[in-house]
Structure 1
């Protein structure tokens, strides 16, 4: 069954996730999020690549080549299904910065997100990513616009391929992340 929700994330990060270069996202939320900020409201969702606010200076050099202009303005190309493997609320800047090797953002970008809105924490999401057999292409609607994380989708149907990372690799990543954050996974 196709989820009825998508998570907006920088296109470069979506590409990194769907090509198995990373399985971890550091999230804080969009400027239109509620006062409490980003919450992991869904455990299965489609990835919604956004080109808004992408910043070369906030991507590690090995991910800089993934930056591109929107290939289909006015249309959303959803490339993959993501399933949450583990959620961590990281309330230590030192621990948040130690996650840098596991994902695409620079230390400066992690620090900026950590301190955003004077609420010192970030969520780290370990994801199982499954590319869609055929990318789902939707016309962008006014309801999809804005700096929000979660976007409701129309009734759609897609098929996902096998995960880009095997379970052994995901467990290795989980162990590495939990070694940094102190094994504080939130309930899923």
Structure 2
């Protein structure tokens, strides 16, 4: 059984997570989020690639080759399941910027997210990602639209493969991220 919720994220970042090129997301929240902004409401979820607002200028150069047009407009292709391994609310800009090597955004994009709505913080989510053996394809409904992070999903069954990063590699990334975040 797949999780009953999906997290919307830029398609490029979903591809990076699903391929193992990245294991970290830096989140602030969409314009329709509550006043408190993005919250980690779910610990397991499907990745929901979105093409809306995807900005090449905010992606590190090594992730630009992943940019593409929506291959199935009007449909959502869910590529993977994700599990939150660690979540950190990062309230230091220096610490947030130091996370740049672990994910797809540029330092400028991280800084803009950090200061979004004059609330200086971001969430850093370390994820264990398991690609679906057959991606799930859903018709996009009005309830799925908008600048929100979490999208409820209909009940579905899908089989996921093994995690894209071996447990030892994921633990190495976790340790490095925690080291970065422990610096003042």
TM-score under structure 1 length normalisation: 0.96
What is the alpha-carbon distance in structure 2 between the residues aligned to residue 48 and residue 114 of structure 1? 22
Partner of 2:131: 131
Partner of 2:19: 19
- Stretches of structure 1 that go unaligned for 5 or more consecutive residues are 184-188
- Stretches of structure 2 that go unaligned for 5 or more consecutive residues are none
TM-score under structure 2 length normalisation: 0.98
In the comparison of the two structures, how many residue pairs are matched? Answer: 183
What is the alpha-carbon distance in structure 2 between the residues aligned to residue 3 and residue 166 of structure 1? 22
Q: What is the RMSD of the two structures over their aligned residues, measured on CA atoms?
A: 0.8
Query: Tell me, what secondary structure is at the counterpart of 1:25?
Result: strand
Partner of 1:93: 93
**Runs of 4+ residues over 6 Å off in structure 1:** none
Are residues 1:64 and 2:64 paired? yes
Query: Tell me, what secondary structure is at the counterpart of 2:82?
Result: strand
What is the alpha-carbon distance in structure 1 between the residues aligned to residue 140 and residue 166 of structure 2? 33
Partner of 2:182: 182
String of CA shifts for 1:113-158, please: whole Å, max 9, x gaps. 0000000000000000000010000000000000000000011111
